[in-house]
Structure 1
Amino acid sequence: MAQITPRVSFTVNVCNSDAPYLEQTLRHMMRQLNFPFAERIATYDPGRQEGKYAERIQGSQNEVEQILQRLLADKLIDRVDVVPWTEAEQHRILMKYFGDEQIDLKDFSGAPIYQYLYAMDACAGDYLFHVDSDMLFYRQGDRSWLYDGLDLLQREKNVIVATPQGGPPQARNWLEKVTGHSFESKPKMDWHHASFTSTRYFLMDVARFHACLPLQQAKPGEPLENSLSHTFTHKGYQRWSMNGHNHWAIHPWRHDENYVRYLDDLIWAVEHGIYPFTRTGFKWDMRTEGEHIKEWLAVLRKHGRLQE
């Protein structure tokens, strides 16, 4: 008997500052995730960005709406939900997930809290895959990592969130930088426990998430990911992340002019498993600002993607 794939919802939050990279990135995601989602929802907040998000290159509502219409027409997403800012809906979401309507709608830096929870609340799947609109994914072979994530969640009852590896291999010391080769031993296990749950991307068991409610803030005004991590730990649940590098995710550290200019090339590099082994920053961040873009341009030229 053929095994039935569990119902998994895809949910991504979208705002106007995503316009410069949104369309290419979502098309890339659907190629790389390669999974039969039960529904694919983009939740759009057309409001003005605040805090650090107001400093990003801004697009317009018209641009974003046109992008979303093209994605709908090409059946890459199934639905666009617009975030409602009515007091009644804010009250409903905050009471359902925090049990407290006084929780800030955004964190201290302007990052979403209410918008994320509204998007997750609209999902009908038994599992949901939430992703930020700028994430890039590498997949070795045809099989999606999400199948492995589902197997894990169904097998390990204390795991609430599963994620792929954060970033491709990176030189960790002078010897690896000199030789250009990793001497890291092969992992003995397929997964490891990770103490923090980022809101950048995760596959979540919805029933276990609901069992954790209400969410608890360790500090007022903290990011939603801090509240998730704090609550999961308090309730005895864990996030597990993949070992090895058959699947990995990488996040642009800045959405700067370099990133937007070379976006198609950077997506090509990630999809082909091409990256600078020696590079600046954390292994899960793609640094493109200023001189750092040269690390990525060098490997692109080496593989014939860019002309000298």
Structure 2
Amino acid sequence: MTVRSALQINMHPLDARHVAHTLGHELEVWGRQVERVTLTIDTKRSLTGRYRGASYDENRKQLFDHIETFAARFSNLEIVEVDYSPEAREAVRRRYFDSSADVPEKAYDGGPLHAYFYGLLRADADYILHMDSDMLFGGGSQAWLDEAIGWFEQTPRCAIRQSIARTPTVDGALADLHRYFPEATRCRDRRALAADYLGLWFP
């Protein structure tokens, strides 16, 4: 069933070492601001790149042992292994890549690709807060998500909202903070952006 808001976190067995220190923090900051928490675990081992990893099976067990301890604390939490079946891959393609004939399972370096979009699909929410498992958040406000959704509702042409990933400058300037997103210069709500977020919309 589609919910209004969901937190969706991607993980991989090789994340086990840091997840022991970061997941609890992520859930405490965000888990009670959403209706659903979807932990998406990519258990399909890559054949190339650093994602092949060593001690894969050991890390996989360690990861699941750890994340399952949170299921009892967060009643809105679900643990989902990424489904690579033809049906699941086709569902992702139709939802996010409808003009493409196929979508690769992995990125060129063996990193996740299908897994990210499968996680978004399974989160099944009007508003999805996506993150990886190695992120830390300062401040700890329990109103962040409601504020962001409120901004979306007032700015219907906006496609993406992203928090500034470092301390804002003294004058609130955004210069060079998002140089990889040239379309950001087309956002017109400068006061809101300078205060909290980067918003992107496209004509």
Q: Which has the larger radius of gyration?
A: 1
Greater RCO (CA < 8 Å, at least 6 residues apart): 2
Per-residue deviation, 1:242: 4.9
Task: Give the equivalent residue in structure 1 for 2:59.
Answer: 60
Q: Is the CA contact 1:12–1:130 (under 8 Å) kept in the aligned structure 2?
A: yes
Residue equivalent to 2:137: 137
* Unaligned 5+ runs, structure 1: 1-5, 170-183, 198-228, 248-308
Give 1:102 deviation, angstroms: 2.5
> Aligned runs of 1:141-220 on 2, under 5 Å?
142-168=141-167, 184-187=169-172, 194=178, 196=180
Say if 2:89 and 2:114, in contact at 8 Å, map to a contact too: yes
How many pairs does the alignment contain? 187
SS of match in other structure, 1:131: strand
Offset of 1:34 from its aligned partner? 6.4
Q: Does 1:38 align with 2:23?
A: no
Residue identity matched to 1:118? Y
Change beyond 3 A, Cα 1:12–1:117: same
Unaligned runs of 5+ in 2: 198-203
- The structural deviation recorded for 1:61 is 1.6
What is the CA deviation profile of residues 130-174 of structure 1, one whole-angstrom value per residue up to 9, with x for unaligned ones? Answer: 10111111116x4432222112211112212112111236xxxxx
Name the SS of the counterpart of 2:147 in structure 1: helix
The one-letter amino acid of 1:154's match is: E
Indicate whether 1:70 and 2:69 are aligned: yes
RMSD, matched Cα: 3.5
Secondary structure of 1:139's aligned partner: coil
User: Structure 1 segments of 4 or more deviating over 4 A?
Assistant: 55-59, 193-197
The Cα of 1:31 is off from its aligned counterpart by 2.4
CA distance in 1, matches of 2:53, 2:170: 41
TM-score normalised by structure 2 residue count? 0.75
SS at match of 2:23: helix
SS where residue 243 of structure 1 aligns?
Answer: helix
Q: Matched residue of 2:38: which SS?
A: strand
- Deviation string 1:246-296 (CA, Å, 9 cap, x unpaired) is 79xxxxxxxxxxxxxxxxxxxxxxxxxxxxxxxxxxxxxxxxxxxxxxxxx
CA 1:13 to 1:77, structure 2 compared with 1: closer, same or farther past 3 Å?
Answer: farther
Q: Distance in 2 between matches of 1:55 and 1:168?
A: 34
TM-score (norm 1): 0.52
